[in-house]
Amino acid sequence: MLILGIESSCDDMAAAVVRDGRYILSSVVSSQDAIHKKYGGIVPELASRRHIETVIPVVEEALNQARVTLDEIDAIGVTHGPGLVGSILVGLSFAKAVSYVKDIPFVGVNHITAHPMAVFLEKIPLNPPLLKGDTGGLSHLTPSFPFIALVASGGHTTLFKFKDFGDYEILGQTRDDAAGEAFDKVAKLLGLGYPGGAVIDKLAKTGNASAIEFTRPYISKDTFDFSFSGIKTAALNYLKKTGDRFEICPQINDLSASFQEAVVDVLTDKAVFACKASKVNNLVVSGGVACNSRLRQKLHNKSKDHGIQLFIPEPSLCSDNGAMIAAVAYQLLKKGVRGELDMNAIPSME
Ligand code: KG4
Ligand code: ZN
């Protein structure tokens, strides 16, 4: 089954062609970073207007790279929430139109719960590889249910327990800023532009993570909830106290490393705590923040120490993409789910 996955919930327009919910034939992402950079964050109206210009070329590019035509597509998966309503509506309306004209089904997909599903995907140039052992046909291992999933992105920081495809419970989430949002806000304070996660990650590599004291906000030991706005404020207070102009803060690398370490510690500890408390030893971590090199390293070490099997998609599949949407769509279609033409965008959903 060939599924076209479309993702437009925020500032990226993404489309992918995925075979049987697993094999990525193509995955194209058109970023709007250059448009929003000067505002230090996403301007929703600009995002949706740009999506209108990019949706057709991005889908065409995904079809071309997969060497298929629209007539060969069996179904469409599209994000219908959560996210920016204007942005979601562009992808959703496009998917409905194609579904109607080509007489193929479409399904609406929850963006946040799609992030962990990227671990079941594999990029292949042409045909699926031969079946190998118990990997479900993929050349890499996949988690077994139940597993704990941490999604850390620009809009969400959520811990899930997945019992099966589409069958999950939310264990905890951020009470204020998302982890990626904290990275982006600190980057903005430092004049590093938007989005800031990858820049802080890079600067932190040559910084001293113990140079500046940041309290780790665990809220309390027995909750799976997060809070990141305090760390961001601590960074602001530090900058005010030292009296540096943010852009020329001489300790920019140390500040980046110390801030990053605090966020990474909390994410790692909570994810492992959720596995222990749930007696589950498979952990999936995804979302844009899962691209962070220090987070990947710490998760790897700590999971090993606790006998937890860790699964993190490759960076391009951690950040927003259409393939993860197609992966969920495949599971929903198998269950007989079909989208109706009156489906609406849902800005907040769990
Ligand atoms: O999942 P994603 O692509 O979009 C949302 O659904 O939000 O995540 C984007 C977020 C941004 O906040 C960005 O700064 C952050 O992921 N991010 C990173 C890194 N790469 C992207 N954060 C920390 N370190 C990185 N290397
Ligand atoms: Zn996302």
106-110 and 75-81 strand pairing: parallel
Are 107 and 211 members of one domain? no
344 assigned to some structural domain:
no
In a shared domain, residues 156 and 88: no
Within a domain: residue 342? no
Q: How many domains does the chain have?
A: 2
Residue 167 class from Cβ within 10 Å (0-12 exposed, 13-18 middle, 19+ buried)?
exposed
Same domain, 113 and 173: no
The span from the CA of 288 to the CA of 243, in Å, is: 32
The pLDDT assigned to 37 comes to 85
Tens digit of each residue's pLDDT (9 = 90 or more) over 1-13: 999 999 999 999 9
Instruction: Enumerate residues with CB within 5 Å of ligand 2 (an ion).
Output: 153, 320
- Are 195 and 234 in a shared domain? yes
- The pLDDT, as a whole number, for residue 244 is 58
Q: DSSP label at 321?
A: -
Instruction: Report the pLDDT averaged over residues 247-273.
Output: 91
Residues 288 and 165 in one domain: yes
Which residues' Cβ are closer than 6 Å to ligand 1?
10, 153-155, 180, 183-184, 195-198, 201, 287-289, 291-292, 319-320
- Asked whether residue 131 is assigned to any structural domain, the reply reads no
Collapsing DSSP states into helix, strand and coil, what is residue 51?
helix
Is 48 contained in some domain? Answer: yes
Domain containing 287 equals 147-312
CA 106, CA 340: separation in Å to the nearest integer? 8
Nearest-CA residue for ligand 1 atom 13 is: 197
Instruction: Kindly state whether residues 199 and 64 are assigned to the same domain.
Output: no
Q: What is the pLDDT of residue 344?
A: 96
174 CA to middle of ligand 1, Å? 15
Range from 169-183, 186-200, 245-259 carrying the lowest mean pLDDT: 245-259
On whether both 22 and 102 belong to a single domain, the answer is yes
One domain, residues 156 and 282: yes
Position 18 scores a pLDDT of 97
Question: Which pTM does this prediction carry?
Answer: 0.93
108 & 188 share domain: no
Q: Do the domain assignments include residue 347?
A: no
Residues 169 and 276 in one domain: yes
- Measured from the CA of 320, which atom of ligand 1 is nearest? 3
Q: Please name which ligand lies nearest the alpha carbon of 156.
A: 1
Q: How deeply is 28 buried, as exposed, middle or buried, from its count of CB atoms within 10 A (0-12, 13-18, 19+)?
A: buried
Q: 176 and 306 in one domain? A: yes
Mean pLDDT within 314-336: 97
Instruction: Tell me whether residue 350 is in a domain.
Output: no
Q: Are 287 and 318 in contact (CB under 8 A)?
A: yes
Q: Give tens-digit pLDDT for 101-140.
A: 999 999 999 999 999 999 999 987 655 444 444 445 566 7
Residue 2 CA to ligand 2 center (angstroms) comes to 23
Domain membership of residue 201 (yes or no) is yes
User: What's the burial of 197, exposed, middle or buried (CB within 10 Å: 0-12/13-18/19+)?
Assistant: buried
pLDDT band at 221 (very low <50, low <70, confident <90, very high): confident
**Hey, whose CA ends up nearest to atom 22 of ligand 1?**
197
Give the residue, by CA position, lying nearest to ligand 1 atom 10.
Answer: 154
| pLDDT one-digit tens code per residue, 181-211 | 999 999 988 888 889 999 999 999 999 999 9
**61 plus 90 within the same structural domain:** yes
Name the residue at shortest CA distance from atom 3 of ligand 1: 319
- CATH code at 103? 3.30.420.40
Indicate whether 133 belongs to any domain: no
